[in-house]
Amino acid sequence: MRLKAAEFNLAMGDWVYSLAPWQVISHLTFAWEASMASAMRCYEKFMRTDMRGVSYFYALEQNPGRDGFHAHALWCDCQNMQRTEIWRKWFARYGRARIEPVNNRDDVSDYCAKYVAKENAWWNVKLLGQRHPANQNFKLAME
């Protein structure tokens, strides 16, 4: 069973890594006990309004010490944005954030193993412009 989980984590990490050249990993909380639907709406609204043009992959995780959810995300196409400014906007509207650079492939694999490959995990991806599958020879292997 552990071997299957490890294989799944590795495959998921490889797939997410292959989607885009991820530049930033963010951990985003809410000041209130956000439901899954509320966390989803708020995160996607933030990306639409304050992070226009940024492709993302995110997962929602249940808060460990209280009710509600928080988000963990990978971003690309955000090289002209300042992490401190993004942090300030998120904090003013929603809550705390940690926004860090992705240093290597292991960062993406660790992200997937910790947040995405969990049982009952919920995640979503939005690839924009040239990254969108319709604009590429995109194939998702299903075995």
Residues 6+ apart with CB under 8 A from 39: 30, 60, 68, 69, 70, 71
Q: For residue 24, what pLDDT is reported?
A: 93
Model confidence at 143: pLDDT above 90: no
Q: For residue 134, what pLDDT is reported?
A: 47
Query: Which residue in the block uniquely carries the two structure tokens 């966390």?
Result: 39
What pTM value is reported for the model? 0.84
Of 71, 47, 26, residue with least CA distance to 128: 47
Q: What is the pLDDT of residues 33-56, one digit of tens each?
A: 999 999 999 999 999 999 999 999
Q: What is the pLDDT of residues 80-121, one digit of tens each?
A: 889 999 999 999 999 999 999 998 888 887 877 777 777 777
Model confidence at 10: pLDDT above 90: no
Rg (CA), the chain: 15
Percent of the chain with pLDDT over 70: 88
Catalogue all structural domains in the chain, each as residue range(s) with its CATH number: 2-134 (3.30.70)
